[in-house]
Structure formats: C-alpha cells, structure tokens
Structure 1
Amino acid sequence: MTQLSIQANDLSVRFKDRLLFHIPQLSLGPQDAVYLTGDNGVGKTTLLKVLSGLLKPTTGTINLSQQGWLHRLFYAQSHSGVIYMHQTPYMFDGSVLDNVSYGLKFSLRNRRERRSTAINALRMVGLETLANEHISVLSGGERQRVAMARAWILNPGVLLMDESSASLDQESIDRMVLLCKDLLSRGTSLVITSHQQNALTALCRRQWTIADAKLIERTELQLVDGEKNNYAYA
C-alpha cells in the first residue's frame, strides 16, 4: 500500500469567462475521508478529475507526497496511485473477471493468483457468480460494484468516488462500505460525492462544499449535531 498526501495551491478552473472555482489551498492526508458536496454544476466532478490528474487546472499546482515504501507503476483509471471512480465507470469489452483482474497484470505475474484475487474481490461485492459473464449483461449498479472491486484490489493511495452510490440499493452500498473501511484501515484516503447522505458518506469526518466558486471546509462531522461546528475557508 502506497500512502499518499495531496497538497494543492492556487487551484482554479475556468471555462471561457466563467470561473468554476478558485481554491487557494487544499490538503488531503492518508486515511482522510471527505464528503464533497455542492449544487449541480458547481464543479464537484471537475475537482475530482483535477485531483486525479485526468484534467489540467487553469491555474495551480498539485503535489503528491508518497508516505509508504511501495510505489506502484500502474493503476487502472489512476494517476500516481490516485483512482477516480466515475458515476458511469469505464468497462473493458470482456468478462466481468477480465475487468477486475486487468490492473493486476502489472503486480501479479501468476495468472492463477490474479484470478483468485479477482474472484475474491467479486465475492466481496456479491458478483462472483457473474465472473465469466460479459460485462454488457450487468446493470448500472452492478457495474459500480465491479468498479469498486477493481479499485479495492489495487490498494490506491487515494480513491475519488464520484456519485458511486447513485444507482445502488442498500445491500450494494453496505458492501461498498465494507471495502472502503478496509481501504481506510490500510491508509487510503477517500473523497466521496453524493447527492444524498448514506452509509458511505457516514464514513467521512471532513466535508468540502463548493459554493460561490469557493471551497468551504467543515471538519469533525461526527459533532455537527449542535456540539461543534468548525468552518474554515480555503
């Protein structure tokens, strides 16, 4: 497991004359769990793509600090140990098992070991009986579970989950929570967007809200019921 910290400075994204957001400073450390909120169109997905390296910001720098001794050379849909899970995740034209095990080719040379590891991940999300089915037969919610299994076996330093629970039933969300808890225990940090609070967002102890082109941060979410509110503008 590679533990990562993300530090961003003077981060902004502009589309023509419109400033989507400007964030003077942003930090994300190992085992952080952040709930990212905001109205539609304020830039939540854009921010996640910038942090993952999939989108270049208009201004600003993003620095990744490696905390562990192992640095993987490849992560599916990732940039330097950061995995971005889209609301409609990309899937390869192949079996469910192929989609989960693909990224393991760079870390596990033994084919039997790759298969065993991928099957175990599918078992964790309740899809092991569909391992040999073509990915096209899966529903949207099942594809999200495949994406979660794929991310889990890659042990990312940072996992960015963009509305990953939107099409999931409660059982599926509970399975994803178990995998997220396991990743957190091993040093992964999470950023989760969701229009509704659920068991996944309940894992978070920090909250980022994008409003008026700014990032507002609230920490210690477990104390928000009148005990303590701590707001800081970044």
Structure 2
Amino acid sequence: MTIKINAKQVSMRFRDRVLFHIPELVIGPNDAIYLKGDNGVGKTTLLKILSGLIKPTTGKLIPPSRSLLSRFTGQSGRKDVIYLHQNPYLFDGTVYQNVAYGLKFQKLSPQEKRAQVINALRLVGLETIADEHISVLSGGEKQRVAVVRAWILKPSILMMDEPSASLDQESIDRIVELSKDLLARGSSLIITSHQSNALTALCKKQWWIKENTLIESPLLQIVKSTTYENPYASTKLN
C-alpha cells in the first residue's frame, strides 16, 4: 500500500521568528525529492512535521500527523512513513536486534526472521557483525544499520536527513540500491544533503526552503555521468 501526504498552510514559528510558511505541498506515490536549503532554514523541522514527529505551529496534514506518528512508533503493524535522523538512533542491543525490531509485528518464525535480517544486512555489507553490539560500530556502520532497518519494513515514504554525511562511496552505493528498490516498489523518498551525490541523483523533484517558503521545481540531472561502475547494482533485493 502506498500513501500520499498533503500539507496545507503549514508554518513553524519559534517565538517571534517564523521559520517557514508553506501554503501547500504534496508527496505522492513514487516521488523522489531532493530537499535543499542553507543551514537553519528548517529542512529537518519540515521532515519531522511531515513524518508526524512534531506538530506545526499552523496547518494540517492529510493523513493527520497522529496516524503517521503511530505508524512510526510501531503502534501499528506497518511503518508507512519513516524518518531517519542525521545522527541515527539505534536501540541498545546488537545489530541483528536493531534490524529485526520492526519485524516483530509480522508473523515470522525465528528462522524466517533471522534469514530476512541477515539477507538485509548482507546488502549493506554488515552480515558478519550481525551479533555485535551497536556500541562497537563506526558512525558510517550505524548509518547503514539505520537505513537497512527502515528498508526491511518497505515503507511507503522514507525521509532521509543527510544520509550520506558519514558514508564512504561504497556505503553510498549500497544505499542507492536499497533506495532504487523502494522506488521500484512505488515508495517515495525525500533526501536532504549538502552535496550532490548518487543518492540525490535518484531524485526527480527539487524542493528549496528559501526566504521562509518552499520552492518546488523539477530536478534535472544533478550528478554528471561518470565511468564509475556500481558493483552492487546487480545485487538481488528481496
């Protein structure tokens, strides 16, 4: 199932400062959006509003943020909207336990769950550390765990806040393949990044937060073609 978010007259105010006012925006099925803007303009705040983590000062979302928040926090069996923090939040436990967390709502045997999680970790090159505690992971490894934990739930909308900030090229390439898989399933992506890269190159739309409002435009090719061949492009995703 895919969902659509429609936000109208959304604004965010901190005391006397209006961070932004957006008359309307729509996230439709299979959208891939590159959200841009200078530091402090409200990109992260907007993603948190759209994912239902915080409420705007004014405006409304359809579906309402309460239903989105319930999905995010696991109060329903399906995670339709997932927001990934720039600094990923991981549970106190192993890599396996973190990725397997969302699958507890699915009727899977322990063997089936283990197989799904290990396969997912293999796609980001972390299957050999599945039983390691997350405290031993590097920043880039934690980011990969967070992304694959979201991917395994097949969300309708995945919002990634600076997902490539601490990743090397190999890790970015692996996450690109997961993102392509979600788009092929009809999911939507919103990505913030200060640098154009292979992830932002997936986007077909561009949102700018500028002068307290949102500017939308089609996104032409933002990363020039190179001779670099992604070694993970042929990886089979389940």
TM-score normalized with structure 1 length: 0.88
The 3-state SS of whatever aligns with 2:48 is helix
Change (3 A) 1:184 1:88: same
Aligned-pair Cα RMSD in Å:
2.2
1:20-169 matches, cutoff 5 A? 20-64=19-63, 74-75=71-72, 81-169=80-168
Cα separation, 2, equivalents of 1:188 and 1:106: 20
Preserved contact between residue 78 and residue 84 of structure 1 (Cα < 8 Å): no
Q: CA deviation at 1:110?
A: 1.4
Gaps of 5+ in 1: 66-72, 226-234
Rounded to whole Å, the distance in 1 between the matches of 2:171 and 2:73 is 22
1:209 equivalent to 2:237? Answer: no
The answer on whether the counterparts of 2:85 and 2:160 sit within 8 Å (CA) in structure 1 is yes
Aligned to 1:182: 181
Deviation of 1:64 after TM superposition, in Å, equals 3.0
Structure 1 contact 74–106 (Cα < 8 Å) conserved: no
> What CA deviation, in whole Å up to 9, does each residue of 1:21-78 have, x standing for no partner?
000000010110000000000000000000000010000111139xxxxxxx855579
- Three-state SS of the structure 1 residue aligned to 2:11 is strand
Give the Cα–Cα distance (whole angstroms) in 2 for the partners of residues 75 and 117 of structure 1. 21
Which residue identity lines up with residue 110 of structure 2 in the other structure? R
8 Å Cα contact 2:71/2:81 also seen in 1: no
| Partners of 1:52 and 1:78 within 8 A in 2 | no
SS in 1 for 2:99: helix
Q: Where do 5+ consecutive residues of structure 2 fail to align?
A: 65-69, 225-238
Q: What is the aligned-residue identity percentage?
A: 63
Partners of 2:200 and 2:222 within 8 A in 1: no
Q: Which residue of 2 aligns with 1:3?
A: 2
Equivalences, count = 218
